[in-house]
Structure 1
Amino acid sequence: MKRKGVKKVIIISIASFITLIFLALAAILLTGGLFQSQTYLQPWDKSYANRFKDPRIRLAAYGLLAANGHNMQPWIIKLDKNDPNTFYLFADANRMSPQADPEARQLMVTQGTFLDYVAVAGRSIGYPATISLFPGGTYNEQQLAQSMSAKPVAKITLKRAKPQQSPLFNAIYIPDTNRETYKSAKLTAAQIDALETLSENKFETKIYQDKADVKKLGKFALNSVKIEAGTRRVMDEAEAIFRANESQKNKKRYGFSFEGQGTSGFRLYFMQGLITLFPSLNNTKASSDLMIQSTQAAIDHTPAYAMISSDDNSRASQVKSGMIYSRLTLTAASLGLAVQPVSQALEEYPEMNKQYTGIHRSYAPKGQTIQMLVRIGTPTKTVPQSMRRDVMELVHN
């Protein structure tokens, strides 16, 4: 009788333990937002842009999906009140990243990524765009923020034409950044040719996949990430825009989240729930260690790098480099390739100076400015789409 009683107690205890585990797991998943709507993903819906009758807003909705620094989406759209075919793009000075991007170079590159998505989408839906950079003149660098608010980056003028479908348009809906491992296979001659022909006068797009270059560029990428991870003010800036769960992502639809690290499915909600319930898990050291570890894994599985350089570092060249970068991401996606920026070595704060000087000495000996460095290859996994704001948040009077 005693043995039966003990056995019964053990069974009850195990059942209770399993129930507690189940309830704890359920609590974590619910806290992480398992059943919450994801309004921050609405702009990725292929019907989203068509909700807007004004073709200028419709094209801005496509531009919204472009790659952008720190996922800050620093774009302002102003519609011309006198011309229904014209609108202006302004850089949003309130969305600068002064610690990681003190010269606002990445912010300007981000303006270019938006413009090229607009150009690709415009041709595809029958509203080809003529883009004029800095129609009001370039910025006053001594009063940069005020100048950004006063002077547009670009004037975009539309005209009606027959739609011209392109695989680049379909690639707009593929996430621009894939941080997962890539297959070891090198790029084919045809793939390299398609990417390097994106070069233009005073701008070069170059693919590096020789063993020595891959090792050297990987070292620059990893060392610069270690420096960034160890620079507290830069990491604090990034942590301030980290969205830990679905509620935060729906409320502030920009910045970083677990999706950006390639996390999806139940694991996403589990991680979000843990961080929400135990915020101390997401401390600076943990974030830095994860950043370094994930970069190391990515670098170890990178067959090639792409680099975009310009002859000068003017604001117009920065924007144009961003346009070329968007064309590179779209072309790569249409070829079955994926990319991930690893451009920390190009950042202009003091701690990064040695890496910045080193990579330019090695790969820009004629005084060019390297605007983008990205790893490129055939992806082993697809990655989730990242947060995007509602396009009407970009439209200012």
Structure 2
Amino acid sequence: MSKKKGKKTMTIIISSIGLLLIIAVASLFIISGVFRSPKYLEPWETTYSQKFEDPRIRLIAHGLLAANGHNMQPWKIRLDRDNPLAFYLYADSDRLTNEVDPFARQMMVTQGTFLEYVKIAGDELGYKSTVELFPQGDYDEQQLLESMNTTPVAKITLTKDNPLSSPLYDPIFLPDTNRVAYQSTKLTSEQIDQLINLTTDMNMAIKIFQDKENVDKLGSYAMNAATIEAGVTRVMKESEIIFRANEYQKNKFRYGFSFEGQGTSGLMRHLMQGLVTLFPSMNSGQAAADMFIKSAQTSVDNTPAYAMIITKDNSRSSQIQSGMLYSKLTLTAHRLGFVVQPLSQALEEYPEMKEPYNSIHLDYASDGGTIQVLVRLGKPTKEVPQSMRRDVMDLIECDPITIDIMGE
């Protein structure tokens, strides 16, 4: 073969390989659903709530954006049939994550995050929100699931008022969790004071830790708990089941986990979605466990500070109130240029997590209190995309009486 023919043959081979690569990448993008409209992001639009005439629905649409465990969005709403400015919040028992949250403590914290977003949005839109916890009595803990279905967590009553601009309103539309590496920047004493003074409730406290000893200790707790969790098959399976691998699944379910939650965006997100759709084993079993531990290690290695919310007791009301405080903490952190990521594993109460749970409480809540929330806190190295949210009307339980909610 002549040298000229050899070069021509090589050029053809390289061109063929390049064409195959282009076809392969294009196929992954199509499988990912790159051309699908992300309806699961519509609730994040600042104008989303405005299409509803009912002020209750407008505020509920804001509450929908609150931080929540496993992104399950476990909220049900019943509109008061007699008072057009009142509604009831119920915990959605169908959205429990029983493996990691067997006593529904995180579920109750999540009810609180929703309520605080509603209150902040109400001030901004000109409606004072009065929140009454457990207006029909406490849960029957022996019949917890039934109680969740029949007993409201809260009654919210609105009163028309003058709009009151809140510095925490705009951050509502920012992602509540950022899992990427954080800068080494620490909080100033003034910033720490702003955060710990978010509550004046003597039964609840925010604690900030950014000294090396506590940062190292809490990082160790986080890694130990992540390693334990990665080794518990039923817990990892619970997360795997609610992972949405592509745009089709995200538009269909609109809750659970996705690559956005891991900070993956842009073209890389679609490449990963296409690959995991084709090869589900990439995100299951040992591969998922290894990825989980690696992500936790990256987080811990790039964390300048931690924050805790501790309550004196562990009542259902305290759990909810800690969630309300957590929303204020998250939104205030955003306003100060910081972001957060919950590190909930060491606070979970399934049997395999008993040792780290008891140990972290002995170190940081030795007076008998309960650590309701543990988060890493810092300035982000990059912004992350917003996560899936359901349509607000999916939260509203149908009433026999037709209500012209959208004013149409």
Secondary structure at the residue paired with 1:159?
A: strand
Counterparts of residues 149-228 of structure 1 (less than 5 Å): 149-199=149-199, 200-228=201-229
Q: Which amino acid is the alignment partner of residue 300 of structure 1?
A: D
1: distance between equivalents of 2:97 and 2:230? Answer: 16
Cα distance between partner residues in 1 of 2:379 and 2:270:
28
- Residue 250 (structure 2) aligns with: 249
Question: Counterparts in 2 of 1:356-395, with a 5 A limit?
Answer: 356-395=357-396
- Residues in 2 aligned to 1:250 and 1:290: alpha-carbon distance in whole angstroms: 25
Give the 3-state SS of the residue equivalent to 2:160 in structure 1.
Answer: coil
Between the aligned partners of 1:217 and 1:365, the Cα distance in structure 2 is: 15
2:266 maps to which residue?
265
| Separation in structure 2 between the aligned mates of residue 236 and residue 297 of structure 1, nearest angstrom | 22
**How do 1:61-76 and structure 2 match up within 5 A?**
61-76=61-76
What's the TM-score, normalizing by structure 1? 0.99
Q: How far did residue 201 of structure 1 move?
A: 2.0
Give the deviation of 1:254 after TM superposition: 0.2
Where structure 1 has 5 or more consecutive residues not aligned to the other structure, the ranges are none
Structure 1 segment 227-246 matched on structure 2, within 5 A: 227-246=228-247
Question: What does residue range 39-54 of structure 1 map to in structure 2 within 5 Å?
Answer: 39-54=39-54
Deviations 1:191-246 (A, max 9, x none): 10110002322001111111111111111111101111111100000100000000
Inter-partner Cα distance in structure 1 for 2:212 and 2:16: 57
Deviations 1:282-307 (A, max 9, x none): 22111111111111111111111000
TM-score by length of structure 2 reads 0.96
- C-alpha RMSD of the superposition: 0.8
Aligned equivalents of 1:212, 1:176: Cα separation in 2: 27
Aligned partners of 2:188, 2:138: CA distance in 1, in Å? Answer: 40
The residue number in structure 2 matching 1:338 is 339
- Which residue in 1 is equivalent to 2:304? 303
Distance 2:72 2:223 in 1: 24
Higher mean C-alpha deviation, range 28-37 or range 341-350: 28-37
Tell me the matched-pair count: 397
Match of 2:127, SS state, is coil
Secondary structure of 2:169's aligned partner: helix
1:345 CA displacement? 0.6
d(CA) in 2 for partners of 1:312 and 1:319?
Answer: 12
Matched position secondary structure for 1:158? strand
The 5-angstrom pairing of residues 100-115 of structure 1 reads 100-115=100-115
Structure 1 distance, partners of 2:264, 2:7, is 42
Per-residue CA distance 1:118-160 (angstroms, 9 max, x = gap): 0000001101100000001110011101000100000000011
Q: Which residue of 2 aligns with 1:286?
A: 287
Q: Which amino acid aligns with 1:264?
A: S
Q: Following the alignment from structure 1 to structure 2, what is the Cα–Cα distance between the partners of residues 86 and 168? A: 23
Listed one character per residue, the Cα deviations across residues 350-375 of structure 1 (whole Å, up to 9, x for unaligned) are 00000000000000010000000000
Aligned-partner Cα distance in 2 for 1:254–1:283: 19
Contact 2:281 2:287 in 1 (8 A): no
Deviation at 1:4, TM superposition (A): 2.2
Output the CA distance in 2 between the equivalents of 1:138 and 1:227: 34
Contact 2:282-2:288 within 8 A present in 1 as well: no
Q: Is the 8 A contact 2:56 2:85 kept in 1?
A: yes
Deviation track 1:151-209 (CA, whole Å, cap 9, x = no partner) reads: 00000000111111122000001101001111112101111011000232200111111
Question: Which amino acid is the alignment partner of residue 194 of structure 2?
Answer: A
Greater alpha carbon shift after TM alignment, 147-156 vs 197-206: 197-206
Q: Secondary structure at the match of 2:123?
A: helix
1:96-135 correspondence runs (5 A): 96-135=96-135
**Cα shift at 1:280:** 2.1
| Structure-2 separation of matches of 1:13 and 1:366 | 72
Cα displacement (A) at 1:281: 1.8
